[in-house]
Amino acid sequence: MPATVSEKTIGRLSLYRRLLYELRSAGEENLYSHQLAQMAGVTAAQVRRDLMSIGYSGSPTRGYDVRELGESIGRFLDSPIDQGVALVGVGNLGRAIMAFFAGRRPHLRIVAAFDTDPYKVNRVIQGVRCYSLEQMPQVVESEGIQVGILAVPAVAAQGAADTLVRAGVRGLLNFAPVPLRVAPDIYVEDIDMTMSLEKVAYFARQRATQKELQTW
Amino acid sequence: MPATVSEKTIGRLSLYRRLLYELRSAGEENLYSHQLAQMAGVTAAQVRRDLMSIGYSGSPTRGYDVRELGESIGRFLDSPIDQGVALVGVGNLGRAIMAFFAGRRPHLRIVAAFDTDPYKVNRVIQGVRCYSLEQMPQVVESEGIQVGILAVPAVAAQGAADTLVRAGVRGLLNFAPVPLRVAPDIYVEDIDMTMSLEKVAYFARQRATQKELQTW
DNA sequence: GTAACGCTGTGAATAATTTCACAGAATAAT
DNA sequence: ATTATTCTGTGAAATTATTCACAGCGTTAC
């Protein structure tokens, strides 16, 4: 069991757990690494490597216990106590994010939203209370929030990140199309939709071209 | 100049171009690899490596020409003809995506949206016409669409992907939290918000713990 | 019992990606 | 002109991530 687990492995473990949860709902009790691999779109060896990281062992004949493995990943990934998340920016994207996460994981849920728009402040959207930006340090601290989601326009992202970090947040999920400058001990995950779409456009085009060449 | 350019490099090139565009608007004419690197949050060597891929050369004394480099990346990344994008799913997330991309890149814009909700069909949202799912093959073909965005619930994602691919789409940007099964010549980029948030939560917690240990 | 099967866990090999480090080049200063 | 400077472009090294391949094991079948 390695002392430190790579970012990619953590991501896949999250995916595995979700798939396992679905299997469990479907009444499955056991599965083999190659089955989980196929569902996750990776190789069986990759699955077994990833599971080494959390020290979970399966049986050579039954494979893995769906429930046990799911719980084992949970113990590894999740905080023992509930983690609250702060969302900054309650525009189109912010509200879509709220709706997306609403009721999904009780241990990791959005507990406060922030926006400059006075019309939104003090309202409750998707079950989440909205606050003004000024209240951010207070609320983040009193709620013990360590995770922030940035769904603000690019120009406002760095400022919002700074305020969140100063208030005690240790990790950021950044939807704004701008690289954030934060202290090295703060974890930032970027979701850059423009970049992703351009990647898809590039490879869609490239593969279409390759296909043509293949027929020669 | 390598025959094939890695996915990661393509992503960074997209980012570089955006940063260059901002610099250009700010009136900058030249910059060095280490400056672009700092803005992008990567190393200078990384920037130079990436630029090798597109065969653009800078000057040892002036660095890179902001305008030329931006255009050079554009010629490499973009299709010579406009690429239309289809969006499937006009719920909260779909509308947020429409708003996000509205008016951003003329060469790569959403030209059609699809939804099952009859109330949305035939309406124009964020400047984009909505169609029913049944019209998808027709519209995709007539518009020559090669890129699709999936913003539908998990259960509907595979079906929507299949229909898009059958209609001629070669690349998919998938927001649904489910791995898609498509032919190997179809490019899929997943934006898995649940996975991303769980990653942030994990590393936020881990770094917070490390910080504590450091003070000992 | 014991033989056969098909899995897991993992060392070793390979592949992909990033960083190092330096030769060579364009400019500015003298 | 010549020298000094500081960059670029890129082989080579280092690092990181993935895959291979197989010993060993729990189970089932006989």
CATH 3.40.50.720 for the A83-195 domain, yes or no: yes
> What does the mean pLDDT of chain A come to?
95
Fold agreement (A7-76, A83-195): no
Select from A10, A15, A195 the Cβ nearest to the Cβ of B11.
A195
Domain ranges of chain B: 7-76, 83-195
Whether residues B200 and A83 touch (CB distance < 8 A) is answered with no
Residue A32: which nucleotide is closest by CA–C1'?
Answer: C7
Chain segment A50-106, per-residue pLDDT in tens: 999 999 999 999 999 999 999 999 999 999 999 999 999 999 999 999 999 998 889
Residue ranges of the alpha helices (H) in A26-135?
A: 33-40, 44-54, 66-77, 92-101
Q: Strand D nucleotides below 7 A of a protein CB?
A: 5-11, 16-21, 24-28
Alpha-carbon gap: B179 to the closest alpha carbon of chain A (Å) = 6
Q: Which residue is nearest to nucleotide D27 (CA to C1')?
A: A61
Select from B105, B189, B198 the Cβ nearest to the Cβ of A77.
B198
In the β-sheet with A128-131, what is the strand arrangement from edge to edge? Answer: A124-125, A128-131, A108-114, A83-88, A147-150, A171-174, A187-190
Chain segment B165-209, per-residue pLDDT in tens: 999 999 999 999 999 999 999 999 999 999 999 999 999 998 877
- Identify the pLDDT of residue A211: 65
Chain segment A30-49, per-residue pLDDT in tens: 999 999 999 999 999 999 99
Q: Is the pLDDT of residue A212 over 70?
A: no
| Residue A185 neighbours by CB under 8 Å, 6+ apart | A170, B207, B210, B211
Residue pair B83/B170 in contact by the 8 Å Cβ criterion: no
- Identify the pLDDT of residue A216: 46
Distance B61 CA to D2 C1' (A): 18
Using a CB-CB cut-off of 8 Å, the residues of chain B touching A192 are 11, 15
Q: Which residue is nearest to nucleotide C27 (CA to C1')?
A: B61
Q: Is A93 on the interface with B (CB under 8 A)?
A: yes
Give the DSSP H or E segment for A211: helix A193-214
Q: Is B57 on the interface with A (CB under 8 A)?
A: no
The candidate with the shortest Cα–Cα distance to B64, out of B24, B26, B25, is: B24
The candidate with the shortest Cα–Cα distance to B186, out of B210, B163, B152, B156, is: B163
Distance A100 CA to D2 C1' (A): 68
Q: What does the alpha-carbon distance between residue B137 and residue B151 come to, in Å, rounded to a whole number?
A: 18
The pLDDT of B79-89, averaged and rounded, is 97
Q: Is the pLDDT of residue B123 over 60?
A: yes
CATH 1.10.10.10 for the A7-76 domain, yes or no: yes
Select from A149, A185, A202 the Cβ nearest to the Cβ of B77.
A202
> Residues 25 to 54 of B: which have CB under 8 A from any A CB?
39-41
- Identify the pLDDT of residue A207: 81
Residue pair B97/B149 in contact by the 8 Å Cβ criterion: yes
Q: Looking at B90-99, B103-112, B189-198, which range is the least confident one?
A: B103-112
User: pTM surpassing 0.85?
Assistant: yes
Q: Is A102 on the interface with B (CB under 8 A)?
A: no
